[in-house]
Every structure is written in structure tokens, then in C-alpha cells.
Structure 1
Amino acid sequence: MAVCCDLEVDVNGEETFMVDKKIIASYCGRLSKLFGKSTGSARNLKVIFNDFPGGAESFELMSRFCYNNGRTVINPSNISLLYSAAQFMEMNISVSGTHNLLEETGKSLEEMKYWTWSELLITTKKCQDLLPFPNSTGILEKCVDSLIGRITASGEPSPCPSTSSPDSSGARLSCDSRSTESLKNSFSRATWWFDDLLFLSTNLVGMVIEPMVSKKFDHVIISRFLFYYQKSKCYTGTSDDKRKVVETVIDMLCILDWNSVSFKSLFGILRVALNCNIRKCSRAKLESMIGSQMDQATLDNLLIPSPHGMNYSYNVNLVLRFLKAFLHGGISLVSPIQLRKVASLMDLYIAEVAPDPCLKPYNLPSPLSEQDFSIKKLQSKLSCLSKPSSKDYSKPLTKQNAILIHLLVFVKLGARERIKETSQQIVVYARKLDLPTDNNDKIRAHLKGMQWRVTELERVCMKMQAPMTKIMNSRVSRHSSSRSLPRL
């Protein structure tokens, strides 16, 4: 059959093809409709495609199918290009009968369940490259479903339900009687797919993670993959790429059970996020996740350097937002053990940051305002304890109530200038409470210790003021003398 090249096709400005109009139009409904509407007998025509899926490579594969009488080799490396081209060019049964590309690729997709893992990865990567084109989403969803099915089928069930993060109390691992080495091997078998899915773009991560969550996949494993993905992508990415990756990972972690998310790894992401200028909503989500597990924090975790350009040492505002997230559900929802841990941590934190001479009250716009629900709960609890007419006045002071006093003292603390006022408040509370002497000696000692520590902090601040004043005066005199005296 004689072949004439009477049609010029410009594909996305990448490459121009000279093809036989009759052959191509016999399989492509889009071109058949276009030429059916054209009038005149021009021999040479030109068609320009600006949004052809897969570009020149995809058009060439489609053309080979047309020139080969509707036959071609379909494999995992080209099926996404052929399928998208067939949809775009309307190569269905109404145009070419039984030999149509859309039907052939559809049959091959039905056999996807028999593909190997590597073949699925190849097809998914090709589909990811076609994401800007809307016709590529259908095959991409099928690939993602197959990938998740393979991961779910090969993953062993966790030893026990994921009720805590891997680096918290260890309860998750201790509930199984198998040896530690066996658990490590089981965990490695559950994470074998981590490296294979690092090619996923930020747009595709959500398509993979959300179905895994809906299918009740282990949240601990999902969170470990997200942290691994973030570290791998941020190691060599640009600042903009790092920002997108961190925002995506935070959004995906937020839909998991927060108790399954590693507290230590959250602080690792926080260090990256503080330098990436991420969205406010993503930052708020990260702070909420950290604050919800604040009872697991250490003093080193909270000693976060202040933002660039600030003259004080530590980012106290960030810690206050963590505390707000910790008390978000109300004080009644926090266990006494958690309150005791956070109260002790705040005691250490105040002792560390209060001596900073650059820390002023206006540096600490506490997010725990008077209108905050949890603060109201604290204040109402304290007011009941401090009023002689209260029904609770005759009850002995419990450890939980002492912790409430401690937390309220921290919330009220604006800077070192208010330490004296805080100390006086503690004395007032201690005097108003009628403490029995039989079971509350420890509580009395704790309150006195709090008062003593606050007094010591005030004394340290007073001692630092004199040396700082001398240093500043010496600097001023040095600068003034250098300007007034001529150089010899």
C-alpha cells in the first residue's frame, strides 16, 4: 500500500511528524472528526497539539500502532503512554472496530494483578510523569491500588495494636512474647518497600497514604515511611522542594493516630520546618502533634533557639504553643501522671530561660489567654481551693491540685520581671490552704521548694544585671572614646 506523508503533526512543540492522514484518521476518532468537518482539497495539512499526553514519545508509539494495522507490543513500560494517547485521540471501537488501541490497553490493564512488583513500579513512574494530563489519572489509580494491595498482602500484622509511638514507652513491643531479634526481623519485613517508593512526588504521596489509612494499615509503619521519605527527599532537594515535602509529610501524619507517631521524629521535622518557612496551617498541625505528646519531651527538646533576628536565646513562644496544644482538650482529659511530668518539665524550662536578660514581657505574648478553656478550668479549680467558703476547702490538697498550681504559675509567667509576683502568688495560695499535717507534708515541701526556686531565679537575675550593666557601659565608653580621640 502506497504511503504518502500529507499530514504534518506538531506535538507539544517537541517534535514534528509527517504521517499519512488516511492511515492515522482510520484509527483516531479525534482526527477523523476534524478532517470530516474540513472543506477544500488541500493536500498538505498541519495539526498542532499543545497538550498531547506523553509528548513526542507517546505520539510515535501511537503512530506505530496505526501503521502496523492496529497491532503493537504492550508492556508495563509503554502501557501508560499508549493508554493516555488512546484516550486523547479517541481510539475506541466506534472508529476502527475490533482493532482499537483503547480496548487493547484496557485488556492489558486487567492483567495487572499478575505483574511483578518491579513492573508495577515502572508503570507507576511513567504515570507520574503524565500527571499534568487529566487522562492519565485512571491508570495511575489502578497502579496505586495494586501497589497498596501488594504492600498490605505482604506485610505481617503488628504484634499488638499501635497505641503508642515506637520511641515512647515500648508498650507496643513488650506486649508480644517473641524475642527482640524476632521483632526486629518482623519490622524489617514490614518496611521492605520504603526505598522502592521514594520516587513518589509530593502529589502522589497522598494518593498512596490515604488509601492505606482507610484500609487500617499499621499507622506506625506508615509514619516511619513518611519520616524516611522526608529525610531522603530533604537530603539533596532545594529549599522549595524541602518545603513542599515537609508540608506534605505533616499533612499525612496528621491523619494518623498521633500516638503512633514518633515524638523524637516529630522534633526532627520541626528543625527542618523552622528553616523552610512552611505554611501556617502545616506549622499549626505539627505543633499540635508535638504538644499532644508533651509529657514525653525532655528539656533538651524544648531548648529551641529563637528565630533569626531575635536577641533572646530560646523560642519561648513556641513552647507556650506546645503547652496550649497539650491542654487543648481541657485539664480534665489529661491524666495526673502526664500533668506531673509536664509540670516538672516546665519547672526545669523556667529555670533555664528565666535568667536571659534579653527576655522581656512583650517577647512572650502567651497564646494561653484568659479566654482559653483550659485556663478557665485551672483558675476555677484554684479559686475553689483558695476560698475559705468553698465546699472543697475542707478537703486535703492532692498532688494533682499542686500540679495545677504549678501549671498556672507557668502560664502566668511572662518574663523574669514577673518572678517576684509569681512567688507572692504561691505564698498566698499556700497560706489560704488549710493543709493537714498527716498526709500532706510532701505537698508542703513541694510548694516551699517552688517558692525557693523562684526566689533563687530572681536572685540570679539580680546578680546578672550588674555585670551586664558594666559591660554595656564599657562598650559605650569604648565607642565614644574611639570617636573623640584622634589617631596618632
Structure 2
Amino acid sequence: MDEYCDLEVDVNGEEVFMVHKGVISSYSGRINKIFGKSKGLAGHLKVIFNDFPGGAANFELITRFCYNKGKVNINPFNITDLTCASHFMEMNKLVAQTEKSLDEIRYWTWSELMMVLKKCQIVLPKARSLGIVDKCLDSLIGRVASSCEMSPCPSTSSPDSSMFRLSSDTRSTESLKNNFIRATWWFEDLLTLDTCVIEMLVKLMVSRNFDQGIICRFLFYYQKSRFASATPDEKIKIVETVIEMLDSLDIRSVSYKSLFGMLRVALNVNLSQCSRDKLESMIGSQLDEASLDNLLVPSPVKASYLYDVNLILRFLKSFLGKDACCVPLTRLNKVARVMDLYITEVAPDPYLKPLKFLALIRALPDSARDSCDGVYHAVNLYLEVHSGLSEEEKMKVCCGLNYEKLSSEAFNHLRENANFPSKSAVLAVISQQRKLKGLLEDTNELANLSDSPFNSFETVLQKGRKDEGSEQQIVLYAKKLNLSDENEKLKAHLQGMQWRVVELEKVCRKMQTQMTKMIKSRLSNQSNAKSSVPRLCS
């Protein structure tokens, strides 16, 4: 028998096989090409394969095929190995048989499909290039879809629910439970698949218009279930794959609560910056769905401050996008309400810098808040805790307030508030802002008056004269302050406000002259009209 074993085959350094060159080459085009031009060679021949798919076990399978005169029992257990090995060895007869078996994949059981996919993971690049993985996943998705009683409407607006649009008057609780089980029964079986196969599965599901709410639920289930037994490197791969897949879905189908759960997991693994950015962008784009508890994320390790303020600022940037004007006002209002709670919560942090606190206040546009009482409360708390701030630093924080949106109660409290800069320009700024607003409102009213214009004009002018001292006080105080280059803007702002008041007074005087002429003209016309009307007989 030894005389017939004239070819030595080293398979991936795992094992060396002694085979008959003539028998193997009669079925293998690859072997035939190697020795086709050296038929006269005698003695011991050797071939080394360093990249044989499936290793020594697969090579043994194809040698049995050759020695059995081209006959082999192809089944789901060995079809992956035989397909990959036959293509590698250029065994056309075996390739034809495996392709025929793959065409009958629709008759395989669920367990057989899962078995083939697990086998494909061992030789994934080759199995994927040969289309075995796609055929199995296609069949898999078809069976999942046919077993689920899907709602006509994709479940996109209620990702935290059971993922079904079911009518409460036609479906009982038991029916809801059954539908949920029918939609998720396959979750557990797919936990054995690697992240690469899961990624292919999800992409194929999306292309087939599979319910994205179900996909989202599965991805979170997969991450949670696989995490416990995974190595540190596997954990990173799992989280990054899940984030990548979630990012490919319609954001409305992704559970916001689960995203924050994913964020807390991501904080403990060394994710790539790309994956971290995608996760933060998904959360930020739906920031109006967040609660205060969601936002209270602990600061990174070794950071002195308590909460991760920089993370929240990045969320806000994602929420506002390139143009904050495009964000609906209702959504802005929701974010403003939760942000007011957040800045109040972080204000007592002794390590929170003034500029960072001010950035939180100014992150949203002024239109997002109908009232600034919440911001005032947070600023007051911040100044109370950070009593050691310089006058200049306090002024920077105070500049974040829109005093025009303070309620009367908050405004009165501010007047007596010792936490704010002593004898500062804050109250002067408030007075000036309110005076300007009042002058504008009164001027608009005068444009529509037809009677007694003089009293209204006198009221406006008296208001302007009354506050003239305040104007001078503002400018003088601004000059006395030891302002840095950064605070020159404040000084210019105060002086600009004084200039606008003076201009408004000029406009008012001009309008007063015009209205005087109009009234005299009207009185003259009325007098002429009365003299022309005949007296009635009594």
C-alpha cells in the first residue's frame, strides 16, 4: 500500500497526509496543475498548503470523496466544509454536488440552518465569498418573518413598548403576550452567532424592510446576553457592532432608555472614537426624550468635577444640529425644561468652572425658554456655593441670564439677593433692559392712539428722564470696572443701550410734534363741522 502513497500533503502545519497523487489529481484541478507538467518525476513528492479552509479535518473529507470514486453524503453538518474545500482544490464534480444541496436549503430545519451558520463562522471569509452565509441568512429571515404576525404599521414611534400596534378592544392580554413571544422567539438561538454574522443578518433584515423595532430590541438583547461571558476585547467588538447597527436604523425605532443603558456600558470599555461619536449623536438627536436621571452621567475617571458636563454639551450640539432654527419650538421647550433641572443639579459642584456653567446656560437659544426663573435659581445656587469667585467671574455667570424673562417674583428676589455681585452693573442692566422694552411698547401704542396723545408722550418722556441717571450710572460703572479684553463687550453693550434710549427719546419728541399738529387739525375740523349743523327744534 505504501507504494501508492507517493504524495505528501502538509495541511496548514496541522497534519501531514500521505495520498496517491493519481487518485487525488483525477478529481482536483489544483493538484493536477501542480504536477501536470512533471509526470516523469519519480520519488517522494510534497505539497504544502498554508491556507486550506477548515484545516486538516476538511482535507480528510475530500480525500474520502476521491477514494470513494466521487461519492459522498452531503448534509447540513458537512456542506460548508465540503463547499469551501472543493472550491479551494478546484474539484468541479464536488462543487456541482454541493451547489445542488444548497439549492435545497428551503427544506432544511431551523436547527440545520443554525448548524450551517455556526460552521460558516469557522471559515467565514471563504463561506461568505461563496454565498453560503447569504443563502442561510436569507432562509433564516424568511422563516422569522413568516412566524411573526407583524403589524401593518412599522413600530417606530413606540420603541419601548411591545413593538406591536395592537388594538386594545380586539386583543386580550394573552394575545399580546403570544404576539410578543411570536416576534422574539428567535432571539435566544441567535446568541451563538458571532458579531460579524449578526452584522450581516441585521443589514439583510433592513434591506428586506423587517420591523426595525424588533431589530432594535434584538440588538440590545444580544449585547446584554453576550456581555457577561465575553472577554474585554469581545466586549468592545460587541458594543461597537451593536452601535453600528443601531445607527443604521431609523432613530425613531430605537429605544431611548436603552441607548442610555448602552452609554453606561460604553463608559466602561475602550470604544473607538467613531463608535462613541455615533452613540452620542443618536442620544443627542432625541434629547427632548431625556429625563434628569438620564443626564446625570458621572464624570470620567480622574476628573475632579462630579458630572460629565462636556458630554451633555455634546448632546446639546447634536440636538441643535447645524441650524437651531430648524428645531421645532416644542422640542426646544422640552429640552430647556430638563436642562434647567440639570444646571440646578450640577450648580453645587464646587469643581464646576464658571465658564463651563455659563456654557450650559447659553447652549440653547433664547427662544427655547419662556421663563428664565429656572436659570436664575441655578445661578443663585451656583453663586452661593462658589462664594469665592471674583467680581469679574460672577459678572460672567450673571451675563447668562435673560432678565427680560424673569417673573416679578424672581425679579424682586434678585433685587435683594446678596449672592449676586455687590454694587454691580447687574441691576443697572436689568433696569436698562426693562426701560428699553417699555419705551418700545409705549411707542408702538402711541402709533395707534387717536385721543389724548400728550399724556402718553409725557409718560414716555418722563420715564426716559427718570432713568437718565441710571444710564449714566451704567456707563460710569462700566468705566470704573477693571474690565479685561473679554469684558469690553459688556462695556460696549451698556454704552450701546444708552445710545438707543437717547435715540428713542428723539423719535418720541418728533412724534409728539407730529401728533400735536394732527390734534390741532382735528379740533379745527370738528369746530367747523359743528357750526355747519342746524340746531334741532325742541
TM-score range, shorter chain: 0.7 to 0.9
Deviations 1:130-154 (A, max 9, x none): 0144775421221121112211222
Match of 1:426 in 2: 401
Q: 1:209 aligns with which of 202, 205, 215?
A: 202
Aligned to 2:287: 294
Q: Conserved in 2, the CA contact under 8 Å of 1:346 and 1:410? A: no
Distance in 1, Cα, partners of 2:361 & 2:344: 20
CA distance change for structure 1 residues 424 and 86 in 2, over 3 Å: closer, same or farther? closer
1:402 aligns with 2:378: no
Asked if 1:161 corresponds to 2:136, the answer is no
Does the CA contact (< 8 Å) of 1:159 and 1:172 recur in 2?
A: no
Residue matched to 1:10:
10
Task: Give the whole-Å Cα distance in 2 for the aligned partners of 1:205 and 1:300.
Answer: 32
1:358-410: CA deviation from partner (whole Å, max 9, x where unpaired) = 112476795999xxxx96xx36x6xxxxxxxxxxxxxxxxxx66269989999
User: Is residue 54 from structure 1 mapped to residue 29 from structure 2 by the alignment?
Assistant: no
Distance 1:3 1:64, change over 3 A: farther
Choose from 207, 211, 222 the match for 1:218.
211
In the other structure, the counterpart of 2:222 is: 229
Question: TM-score, normalised on structure 1?
Answer: 0.76
CA gap of 1:453–1:46, structure 2 versus 1, over 3 A, is: farther
- SS of residue in 1 equivalent to 2:299: coil
Where do 1:78-477 residues align within 5 Å?
A: 78-92=78-92, 100-133=93-126, 137-158=130-151, 160-167=153-160, 173=165, 177=169, 178-328=171-321, 330-361=323-354, 378=365, 402=370, 421-423=396-398, 426=401, 428-430=403-405, 445=407, 448-449=409-410
Structure 1 residue matching 2:95: 3-state secondary structure: helix
Q: Match for 1:196: what amino acid? A: D
CA apart distance, 1:109: 0.6
Q: TM-score, normalised by structure 2?
A: 0.69
SS state of the match for residue 103, structure 1? helix
Could you tell me how far 1:330 is from its partner in structure 2?
3.6
Instruction: Report the Cα distance in structure 1 between the residues aligned to 2:167 and 2:335, rounded to whole angstroms.
Output: 27
Q: Secondary structure at the match of 2:304?
A: coil
SS at match of 1:426: coil
CA offsets 1:142-179 (integer angstroms, 9 cap, x no match): 112111221122222136432324337x9965765423
SS of residue paired to 2:36: helix
Larger relative contact order (C-alpha < 8 A, sep ≥ 6)? Answer: 1
- What does the per-residue CA deviation read over 1:399-439, in whole Å, with 9 as the maximum and x for residues that have no partner? x662699899999x999666654545536434xxxxxxxxx
Contact 1:253 1:261 in 2 (8 A): yes
Report sequence identity in percent: 55
Answer with 1 or 2: which has the greater Rg.
Answer: 2
Give the drift of 1:332: 4.0
Are 1:28 and 2:3 counterparts? no
- In 2, distance between residues paired with 1:424 and 1:79? 72
Identify if the C-alpha distance between structure 1 residues 401 and 341 changes in structure 2 by more than 3 Å, giving closer, same or farther: closer
- Separation (CA, whole Å) in 1 of partners of 2:42 and 2:137: 47
Aligned equivalents of 1:150, 1:218: Cα separation in 2: 14
Could you say if the C-alpha distance between residues 190 and 10 of structure 1 is closer, same or farther in structure 2, counting changes exceeding 3 Å? same
Give the match's secondary structure for 2:9.
Answer: strand
Q: Which residue of 2 aligns with 1:38?
A: 38
SS at 2:119's partner residue? Answer: helix
Give the Cα separation in 1 of the matches to 2:342 and 2:19: 75
Residues 1:42 and 1:206: Cα distance change in structure 2 (over 3 Å):
same
Per-residue deviation, residues 318-369 of structure 1 (Å, max 9, x unmatched) = 1111111221264344334332322121111111111111112476795999
Unaligned runs of 5+ in 2: 421-538
Offset from partner CA, 1:237-275 (integer Å, 9 cap, x none): 111111111111000000111111111111111111111
Unaligned regions of 5+ residues in structure 1, if any? Answer: 93-99, 382-399, 431-443, 460-488
Contact 1:355-1:457 within 8 A present in 2 as well: no
Kindly state the Cα deviation for residue 302 of structure 1 after the two structures are TM-superposed.
Answer: 1.0
